[in-house]
Amino acid sequence: MAERSKKDNTFPQWVALMSLGFALTLFFANTVPALRERDGLAEVRGELSDLVQRYEEAIRQTQLGIGDASEYDLQALLVAIDQLGYTPQELCRAYPERADDQGKPAAPR
């Protein structure tokens, strides 16, 4: 058998090192942007949870009638109508003019 030269032995090491370098480059090129995106998604998740909390608080305030979105507590309005001895439908029939039309004569039927 012929002896192999030292030059032939370094070729597989050179190929292995180049392959390792290429694999590491691919790994870090894909990992770093993914980590940035994960951090961005965590920020968006925090903003979303804040918005959901604000939304639920607004719904609760509207249901209680204490928020900016509602002027009247509908439950109290229904109780007041009931204390007058009317149902909402009977009240609408008894007073057909709208609240914004008060002071104007009612339209003839």
Q: Per residue in 17-42, pLDDT tens?
A: 999 999 999 999 999 999 999 999 99
Query: Interior CA angle at 57 toward 53 and 62, to 5°?
Result: 150
The domain of 77 spans 71-98
63 and 84 in a single domain? The answer is no
Neighbours of 52 (CB within 10 A): 10
Q: Per residue in 45-102, pLDDT tens?
A: 999 999 999 998 887 877 776 655 456 667 888 888 888 888 888 888 887 776 555 5
What is the number of structural domains in the chain?
Answer: 2
80 and 61 in a single domain? The answer is no
How many whole angstroms separate alpha carbon 17 and alpha carbon 63? 68
pLDDT at 109: 47
61 and 42 in a single domain? The answer is yes
